[in-house]
Amino acid sequence: MQTKTLVTPLPSATQPQEPAQEVVQDCVNILPTNLKDQEYNGELIFKKHPQDGSGFTHYDLASREKKDIPGSNITLTVSPDRKHYTYISVLKKTLIVYTANGDLVREVPIQENWSSVAGWINNNHLQINIQPSSDANSSDFEWHPSLIINPFTDESRLLVPDYPNPDHGNYFNWEGYGKIMYDPSLTRVVYPGYGKKDAGILLWDIPNHKILAEVPYGLIPRWLPDGSKFVLFSLSDEFFYLVTRDGAITKLRQVSNVAEYNWSPDGQHIAITLFSRQSERRLLIILDTLSGEIINFCLPEDYGNDMTIPPVPVWSPDGKAVVMEVTHREKDKNTVVILIDLKKNIAVLLENNLLPIGWLINAEN
């Protein structure tokens, strides 16, 4: 592929994939199915809603038993390989790392300038948000340095966001990462900035100091765990954009009312949750990034997405099911957690008023 430089024209997006308008309807009913009769393995991590107390909970899919995670009252994140999770314990003042089975791996003392855990960059490194210094512009905290640490060792690295042409006037926050999203290899970064066209989202090659791609402003850029590409939903034209690490851009499909989205384990499909009105049955759609096909796994009309914080769909490790939180409109808008089996076309009620965070893989699986 031709090398791009700051003065070379950036690549244009390819045309939308065909079929351009077709959406396959694959509606499911929420059945009183006994989860024990289904073949689902591993454990889910749920976040409690404020009215039920702070913290997080283990949920064993085989036994349907819940167990609170002690001291987990600040952001909990699951590693991309689903084998570990970590959180900060305020009481102990440590960053705690557990295996999927709940075995303690390590406790790392937190430093005074640590603000929060943004999330896992790859299977071995976490991004820690750093508190701005007293003389820094606190209103623009998203542009302050990030600490990349290996929670299994003492390795750490400070990344200073001195990337060109940043847009400091855009005040969105990508789910705790601020305005900067690093790829798993830490050689690419996505951020808002001014490119050749206008203000938008830029892909920057860190070691070679080059802008590789430019796409419109959008929701959070989600990298594949192998770092080969990321997907972003544009807020201006409502298209999904697929961008490779080398800067090739594919304009996928146009979708309205997008709430959140997440990659499938095979890196081919994107689960998309949607804001929906009472008359609509569009809560979860699956976009095939190769064919452009969209499947709408529509639910009964008394289920919707009326939440202030939209739910991120959580894939099963084998890519055959998705877990998500939805609003039950007939029950005072309480939320329920449902497991949608994409292969069997059934949906199973799991719990009430919990937010799915991740689907862990037990060591024996």
- Write the CATH number for 281: 2.130.10.10
Confidence (pLDDT) at 89: 85
| Full residue range of the structural domain in which residue 351 is found | 23-360
Half-sphere exposure of 56 (CA within 13 A, CB side): 23
Nearest C-alpha neighbor of 365 from the set 325, 303, 318: 318
Residue 8, domain member (yes or no) = no
Residue 9, domain member (yes or no) = no
Distance from C-alpha of 121 to C-alpha of 79, rounded to nearest angstrom: 8
Residue 107, domain member (yes or no) = yes
Nearest C-alpha neighbor of 112 from the set 93, 92, 137: 93
Q: How confident is the model at residue 255 (pLDDT cuts 50, 70, 90)?
A: very high
Token pair recorded at residue 107: 């406790």
Residue 239, domain member (yes or no) = yes
Confidence (pLDDT) at 294: 92
Residue 5, domain member (yes or no) = no
Confidence (pLDDT) at 80: 95
Q: What is the pLDDT of residues 223-236, one digit of tens each?
A: 999 999 999 999 99
Calculate what percentage of the chain has a pLDDT beyond 70: 80
Q: How confident is the model at residue 5 (pLDDT cuts 50, 70, 90)?
A: very low
Q: How confident is the model at residue 143 (pLDDT cuts 50, 70, 90)?
A: confident
Distance from C-alpha of 1 to C-alpha of 93, rounded to nearest angstrom: 48
Residue 17, domain member (yes or no) = no
Residue with structure tokens 């969209």? 294
Q: What is the pLDDT of residues 279-306, one digit of tens each?
A: 456 688 999 999 999 998 877 766 666 6
Q: How confident is the model at residue 10 (pLDDT cuts 50, 70, 90)?
A: very low
Q: 17-26, 61-70, 144-153, 157-166: which has the minimum mean pLDDT?
A: 17-26
Mean pLDDT, range 215-243, rounded to an integer? 95
Residue 241: count other Cβ atoms within 10 Å of its Cβ.
Answer: 21
Residue 357: count other Cβ atoms within 10 Å of its Cβ.
Answer: 20
Confidence (pLDDT) at 308: 64
Residue 11, domain member (yes or no) = no
Nearest C-alpha neighbor of 336 from the set 356, 312, 353, 358: 353
Mean pLDDT, range 99-119, rounded to an integer? 89
pTM comes to 0.88
Structural domain total, the chain = 1
Residue 94, domain member (yes or no) = yes
5 touches 242 (CB < 8 A): no
Q: 262-266, 277-281, 306-310, 335-339: which has the minimum mean pLDDT?
A: 277-281
